[in-house]
Amino acid sequence: MSQMTVSARLGRGAVAAPRPLVDARAGRRTRVQDAAPVTGHTGFLVLCLAIVLATFTAVLLLNTHRAEGSYVLSRLNVQQTELHDTKVTLEAQLAELESSESLAAEARRLKMVPSTSTATIRLSDGSLTGVASKVDGSRTLNVDLPATGVATEDE
């Protein structure tokens, strides 16, 4: 019997009671059961709620940690820029102090005069090469590097 004929016989609002069915193979009677469980879903709902809350908490903590890392990175970038500027300034000052003009001016300030003869020591055997002589303080040495790159003596 189809559902259409059952509803037509009973009327539209009436619900038919479950009828026992006979299992032809086993010879037993079976009944139709409602698929909806009788017990409540509170445990499942609590579990789902706990999972959602744990997920939101984890996302909040991760975002907070990431934002903190971003602020630290920003501060470190500012510090790196300041250190780079200091390095460039110090390198410029060092280059200026190492220049031949600066060294010559500092030597004149210290009343130094250029040497006319040189002597060297060979480190391997300790022997002396060349002859060192006393420097006459009246002679000066002018360095003309930009034009010729050759040192000349003035008397």
Quick one: pLDDT at residue 3? 54
Supply the pLDDT for residue 96.
92
In sequence order, what E strands does 6-138 have?
21-22, 29-30, 119-121, 128-130
The CA-CA-CA angle for residues 134, 139, 145, to 5°, reads 110
User: Can you give the residue ranges of every domain in the chain?
Assistant: 41-98
State residue 121's pLDDT score. Answer: 85
pLDDT at res. 83: 97
Which residues 6+ apart lie within 8 Å of 152 measured at CB? 141, 142, 144
Which segments of the chain have a pLDDT < 70?
1-27, 36-38, 136-155
Q: What is the pLDDT of residue 10?
A: 56
